[in-house]
Amino acid sequence: MNRAVLLPLRWLALILAAVVSLFPIYWMVMSSFRTHEEIFKYTTLSKELFLPVHWTLDNYREIFLDPSKPFGRYIVNTLIVAIVVTAAGLVVNSMAAFAFAKLKFRFKRGLLAFFLSSLVIPYEVIMIPQYLLMRDFGWINDYRALIIPQIVWVFGIFMLIQFFSDVPRDILDAARMDGASWARIYAVIVLPTAVPAIITLGIMTFLNQWDSFLWPLVVINEEKKQVIQVAISSFQSLRGISWGKIMAATTISSVPILAVFLLLQRYYVQGITMSGVKG
Amino acid sequence: MRKRLLVLSAALLATASLAACSNDNGNDGGSASPGSSQPASQGASSSGSSDEVVTLSFWRHDYAPEAAAFKKLIASFEESHPNIKIDFQMIPNDQYETKIRTALAGGNPPDIMALDAPTLASYANQKAIIPLDDYFAKDGNKDDLLKPVVEGLTFDGKMYAAPNNEGTIVMFYNKKMFEEKGIPLPSKNVDEAWTWDQVLDAAKKLNDPAKGVYGWNPTPWGFVGHEGAPYSEMAFLWQAGAEILSPDGKTAKGYLDSAESKKALTFWQNLFNGDKVSPKELPQDAFWNGKVAIHVDGPFAFQYQEQNFPNFKLGEDYDVAPLWKDARMIGTTGSWGMAITSHSEHPDEAWQFVNWVTGVEGSKVWYEETKNLPARQSTFDAFQELKEYPMNIYAEQLAKYGHPRPVTPAYPAISEAIRLLFEDVGLGNADIDDSLAKAVKKIEDGIATLNP
């Protein structure tokens, strides 16, 4: 009896929550097919709020065909940066986490505390010193500035340490006895146990890079080399906002994120629950 | 909040490291000024004899119609100056100051940078940009520039930037709504501008909350976080007879907190909280969508309307009139110009480009492309349409009642203080005396950090 009442109620609550969180995305996608004139015209509940009156592809045409702002190129730029940072970051951070979790070396605890303490420093504070460093290396306006400082991610190391410390020490000792090197143990024993964590970290790194805005804005001077989020923000000017273009561009820019997430969603959820169980 | 903190910290760091750099820059600057006193010979020889190609970087905030004008001028410049290449980069508008100040702090700025008139003094004070007087004396046709423009770009007796155009704002009104309510249309004569009370009277009749229509939007983009808000809000203070700073620019005390200011703010508070004729949250494109009956905007609005709202026509759906007035008639002025950074290794070539764009001929091309209000008399003389409706309202108001924003290195603090002051009183319905005291303190602090 109780169940018969509760279940529909539960469904109703879930559907409501889904509508509330999905409607803005739906509105964004629909607005990208509207003319500028129409986007903010319909604000009350009506058919026009849900479907464009005059469907148009002009917004997409404009962002892709404008030679002064090659949107396709921005997508490729961002993909290159995001993929390289993610790949390199996974290797470097997982090795660091392995060392912190399993190896014995001098000053390990102090070093770890030192690493973790950097988590509390807001990015805004280190941005200018980092900029000066990049300038001294001659990396301003260069992808090395976008990629190299981003590879080491202390949060990622911290997260993987949690996973790696689950692997029993005995297995590692056994492998050592059989003559396996630490590198082999890392690659053959420890990494495979942490696949969900690695994938979770990979998704998070990729998202971070895909969404990064401030640092590329500051270090990249040439428009052709710019990344997608900076390009999107350039559709806002002092004297008006090209909402149509922004809607089209954000719609496009959410596609890779959705794709990555949907493909790897299973692992992602698993990774989060596991990191929660392990305190 | 986070963003504001960031811009602030970037600005602070920029100030600090610029101050640190200014020692070695000082030497540079010292040798640059005698150097720039003979730009004629140098400029001529470098463009004449050497085949070496000089590349100049030029940064500006992103605004598509103006970018197109720049590209045209750059193309013609490079054609006639084969030894100079211009590397033109546009920066997203909201982040322009962050980007420029970080680059200046990092000692890595462009050769030429665009700037909004009132930010000039803070850059000049930090010796980030160089005075252009010698260049103007040589071939800059300074006499041709309008007086308020020169005033707005002069700091410490020296002119630090060349103007692309001038700007001011006027009143826009929805003609059909006026006719529907039987309200007489405002005069198109700038000497007969409507008073605040006349506008408020009309706004009350036009206000229709049931239909989501507001009578009067007194600032072009609502309560926004950029210069657009204080630009129009300062006009209210000046119109009431108030000043923001003392004539010597040393203090806001006794000026910004005068009885006249209080009058302006009381009026402002009533618009949003008493009569509620003004929207606290401005719907997007409110005026063009018929959600606001009386609006304020710059000359660039016509182009915006043509591109985005082609069916909402000047003369049929809307018209423009001079800005409103109170004790005084005043319209805020000032717009963007171009400056040469002290870091540039090629200031003479940079000036050739600046002068190509902002000079007598360049200004005409700029006007044709952007329809912004010219900064040069010769441009005003060259185009008949500037003497006709609707541009004549801008032109005449500018000539008779233009008022530049204060030229002081503390301007960033002033801009923010005024913006927050009007937000507190309008949005927050806060106590006027308290809000004024807060604003005065912010400006005083801003001035104090300049003279440690």
Q: Let me know whether B217 and B320 are in one domain.
A: yes
Residue B18 is assigned to a structural domain of this protein: no
Residue B10 is assigned to a structural domain of this protein: no
Cβ B256 vs Cβ B436: under 8 Å = yes
Q: Let me know whether B328 and B440 are in one domain.
A: yes
Residue A119 is assigned to a structural domain of this protein: yes
User: What CATH number is given to the structural domain containing A166?
Assistant: 1.10.3720.10
Q: Let me know whether B444 and B312 are in one domain.
A: yes
Mutate: best of B5, B59, B95, partner A, most A CBs <10 A = B95
Q: Let me know whether B178 and B121 are in one domain.
A: no
Contact A237 B289 (CB under 8 A): no
Report residues of chain A scoring pLDDT below 70: 1, 239, 269-279
Cβ B109 vs Cβ B338: under 8 Å = no
DSSP-based three-state secondary structure for B403: strand
* CA distances (Å), origin A162, targets A127, A185, A216, A271: 29, 17, 31, 11
Q: Let me know whether B424 and B284 are in one domain.
A: yes
> Whole domain around residue B214: which residue ranges?
170-332+409-449
pLDDT score for B28: 37
Average pLDDT rounded to a whole number, residues B54-65: 92
Q: Let me know whether B381 and B433 are in one domain.
A: no
Cβ A249 vs Cβ A232: under 8 Å = yes
pLDDT score for B88: 94
Chain B residues within 8 A of A135 when measuring between CB atoms: 106-108
Residue of B94, B108, B284 lying closest to A243 (CB–CB): B284
Average pLDDT rounded to a whole number, residues B406-429: 94
pLDDT score for B20: 41
Confidence class for position B304, pLDDT limits 50, 70, 90: confident
Question: Would you say residue B451 has pLDDT above 80?
Answer: no
pLDDT 10s digits, B138-190: 999 999 999 889 999 999 999 999 999 999 999 999 999 999 999 999 999 99
Residue A219 is assigned to a structural domain of this protein: yes
User: What CATH number is given to the structural domain containing B180?
Assistant: 3.40.190.10
Confidence class for position B43, pLDDT limits 50, 70, 90: very low
pLDDT score for A45: 80
Contact A40 B289 (CB under 8 A): yes
Confidence class for position B41, pLDDT limits 50, 70, 90: very low
pTM: 0.79
Average pLDDT rounded to a whole number, residues B117-137: 94
Q: Let me know whether B81 and B124 are in one domain.
A: yes
How crowded is residue B4: how many other Cβ atoms within 10 Å of its Cβ?
10
Question: Would you say residue B418 has pLDDT above 60?
Answer: yes
pLDDT score for B359: 96
The full length of chain A comes to 279
Residue B434 is assigned to a structural domain of this protein: yes
Contact B102 A127 (CB under 8 A): yes
Residue A247 is assigned to a structural domain of this protein: yes
* Token digits of residue B285: 């494109």
How crowded is residue B383: how many other Cβ atoms within 10 Å of its Cβ?
16
Rounded distance, CA A135 to CA A90, Å? 27
Residue B230 or A235, more confident? B230
Residue B20 or A57, more confident? A57
Instruction: Using CB atoms within 10 Å of the CB of residue A14, give its burial: 0 to 12 exposed, 13 to 18 middle, 19+ buried.
Output: exposed
Contact B106 A237 (CB under 8 A): no
Question: Would you say residue B98 has pLDDT above 50?
Answer: yes
Give residues with Cβ within 8 angstroms of A252, minimum separation 6: A60, A63, A71, A75
The identity of residue B185, as a single letter, is L
Question: Would you say residue B27 has pLDDT above 70?
Answer: no
* Token digits of residue B163: 């103007």
Q: Let me know whether B416 and B368 are in one domain.
A: no
Residue B29 is assigned to a structural domain of this protein: no
Instruction: Give the number of domains in chain B.
Output: 2
Please report which helix (H) or strand (E) contains residue A98, including its range.
helix A71-102
DSSP-based three-state secondary structure for B335: coil
Chain B residues within 8 A of A142 when measuring between CB atoms: none
Residue B315 is assigned to a structural domain of this protein: yes
Instruction: Give the number of domains in chain A.
Output: 1
Rounded distance, CA A265 to CA A157, Å? 21
Residue A48 is assigned to a structural domain of this protein: no
Residue A49 is assigned to a structural domain of this protein: no
Do β-strands B292-297 and B170-174 pair in parallel, antiparallel, or remain unpaired?
A: antiparallel
- Chain A closest CA to B247's CA: distance in Å? 30
- Listed range (A26-35, B27-36, B226-235) with the worst mean pLDDT: B27-36
Residue A238 is assigned to a structural domain of this protein: yes
Residue A117 is assigned to a structural domain of this protein: yes
> Whole domain around residue A106: which residue ranges?
67-278
pLDDT 10s digits, A78-117: 999 999 999 999 999 999 999 999 888 999 999 999 999 9
Q: Let me know whether B319 and B174 are in one domain.
A: yes
* Token digits of residue B228: 């657009």
Confidence class for position B452, pLDDT limits 50, 70, 90: low
Mutate: best of A27, A71, A128, partner B, most B CBs <10 A = A128
Residue B161 is assigned to a structural domain of this protein: yes
* CA distances (Å), origin B85, targets B57, B80, B108, B116: 9, 11, 18, 24
Q: Let me know whether B430 and B293 are in one domain.
A: yes
